[in-house]
């Protein structure tokens, strides 16, 4: 079964809107795990508009499944990750003012940089995933720089799914095939939801983990958090 990691950024965004501690981010992380989530993902950004840097040590002490910290590997980000040693670090090529992630790494152009960052994280025993577009060359490049996994950026798939699922899925199925051949683990994330998740999972062999936040938290407004997590898990069964 593909594992579900719940991204709780939007919970932190709601908390920060009023400056207090409602909703309680740590309690939500605990509850997500209790409701069946197999991991918790956070993506701290430089402006700390949702996850704050001081959330990370608290989450590190709280999360008992898999703790995944994703983000742009700036010096401050890497210092935060190395100090808190999550189970997984997902490297994402965001700019400092980016609203949301919208592309993967050029693992060939940035090979030297990625190799250095990955080596430093490996010293701490952290599994490293590299955010990547479904391009065989980028997948092979991630393997060459020492990444343990790639996380396929699924924004284009989600955008095109309603028009033609088969065409939307084709590059991701091929990326999965390449990942399997070269022996690199496969994650996926961005705009996956209750409509498109099952199809993606069924046509992406070897998919180990999906990270879902925005859609899942939005669905929880209608269905409740516990029920929503079970609904997503059923799509992955």
For the segment(s) 3-236, the CATH number from 3.40.50.300, 3.60.21.10, 3.40.50.720, 3.20.20.70 is 3.20.20.70
Q: How many helices (H) and strands (E) does the chain have?
A: 11, 8
- The per-residue pLDDT of the chain, averaged, comes to 96
Which stretch of DSSP H or E encloses residue 6?
strand 3-7
Residue-wise pLDDT tens digits, 161-192: 999 999 999 999 999 999 999 999 999 999 99
The pLDDT tens digits for 100-155 are 666 889 999 999 999 999 999 999 999 999 999 999 999 999 999 999 999 999 99
The answer to whether 129 and 149 are in contact (CB under 8 A) is yes
Q: How far apart are CA 236 and CA 230, in angstroms?
A: 10
pLDDT one-digit tens code per residue, 61-92:
999 999 999 999 999 999 999 999 999 999 99
User: Per residue in 35-63, pLDDT tens?
Assistant: 999 999 999 999 999 999 999 999 999 99
Q: What are the distances in angstroms from CA 181 to CA 87, 138, 139, 199?
A: 25, 14, 11, 22
pLDDT of residue 101: 62
Enumerate the active-site residues.
Answer: 43, 70, 190
79 CB-near residues (< 8 Å, 6+ apart): none
Angle between helical axes of 55-62 and 25-34 (0-180°, round to 10): 30
Residue 115's Cβ-count burial label (10 Å; 0-12, 13-18, 19+) is middle
């Amino acid at each position: 079964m593909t594992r579900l990691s719940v991204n709780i950024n939007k919970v932190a965004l709601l908390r920060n809107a009023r400056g207090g501690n409602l909703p309680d981010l740590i309690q939500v992380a605990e509850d997500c795990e209790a409701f069946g989530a197999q991991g918790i993902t956070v993506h701290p950004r430089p402006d700390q508009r949702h996850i704050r840097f001081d959330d990370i040590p608290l989450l590190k002490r709280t999360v008992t499944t898999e703790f995944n910290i994703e983000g742009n590997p700036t010096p401050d980000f890497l210092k935060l990750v190395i100090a808190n040693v999550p189970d997984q670090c997902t490297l994402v090529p965001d700019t400092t003012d980016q609203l949301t992630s919208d592309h993967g790494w050029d693992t060939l152009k940035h090979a030297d940089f990625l190799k250095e960052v990955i080596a430093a994280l490996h010293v701490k025993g952290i599994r490293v995933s590299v955010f990547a577009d479904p391009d065989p060359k980028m997948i092979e490049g991630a393997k060459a720089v020492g990444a343990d996994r790639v996380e396929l950026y699924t924004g284009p798939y989600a955008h095109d799914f309603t028009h033609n699922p088969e065409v939307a899925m084709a590059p991701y199925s091929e990326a999965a095939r390449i990942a399997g051949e070269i022996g690199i683990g496969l994650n996926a994330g961005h705009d996956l939801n209750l409509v498109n998740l099952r199809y993606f999972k069924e046509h992406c062999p070897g998919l180990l983990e999906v990270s879902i936040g925005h859609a899942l938290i939005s669905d929880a407004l209608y269905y409740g958090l516990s029920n929503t997590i079970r609904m997503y898990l059923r799509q992955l069964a």
